[in-house]
Amino acid sequence: MVLHGDTAAKRSVDGEPGAGMIRVSAVIPAYNRADTIGYCLESVCAQSYRPHEVIVVDDGSSDATAGIVNEFSSRDSMVRLCRSATRSGAQAARNVGIRHATGEWIAFQDSDDEWGADKLAVQVRHLEEVGADPMTVIHGDAWRCHAGS
């Protein structure tokens, strides 16, 4: 998972997410993940620090992936589906998600993984505590910060 954004947009992470909080866009590239996209979306939507939006980029799936995402979208307006007619790969799908994101920060999630309930809360709080530079990467269980140029 990677978070990145402009520190000028950072806000306090005390209390519940809401007005004045850091807006995190979750971007999920997916290709033929009908068997896993449901639990992936459940874990992202159930975060204690709710994302501003969840963008699933369907990279030309031929299974029911898009239908499952649309079902989630009908229940939770923060979930959006972007579809690609042809398969371009996960990295290209992530780039599509970035272009559609409106949050100040972006969190990437693989479509076959689940997040722990406090994943975003812990990571956003850490970014606030360290005074994150313009480009900050948090990956896996280790936090690594890299100042962008």
Q: Which residues of 49-58 are buried (b: 16+ CB within 10 A; e: fewer)?
A: bbbbbbbbbb
Say yes or no to pLDDT of 35 above 80.
Answer: yes
What pLDDT is stored for residue 1 in this prediction?
41
What pLDDT is stored for residue 7 in this prediction?
36
Contact call for residues 35 and 46 (beta carbons, < 8 A): no
Contact call for residues 64 and 94 (beta carbons, < 8 A): no
Contact call for residues 56 and 126 (beta carbons, < 8 A): no
Tell me the H-state helices in 34-112: 37-45, 65-75, 90-100
DSSP state, residue 100: H
Residue 116 CA to residue 71 CA, distance in Å, equals 22
Contact call for residues 46 and 75 (beta carbons, < 8 A): no
- Please name each of the domains of the chain with its CATH number: 3-14+21-137 (3.90.550.10)
**Lowest mean per-residue pLDDT among 23-37, 56-70, 127-141:** 127-141
What pLDDT is stored for residue 131 in this prediction?
74
Indicate the pLDDT class of residue 13, thresholds 50, 70 and 90: very low
Q: What are phi and psi of 139, to 5 degrees?
A: -135, 130
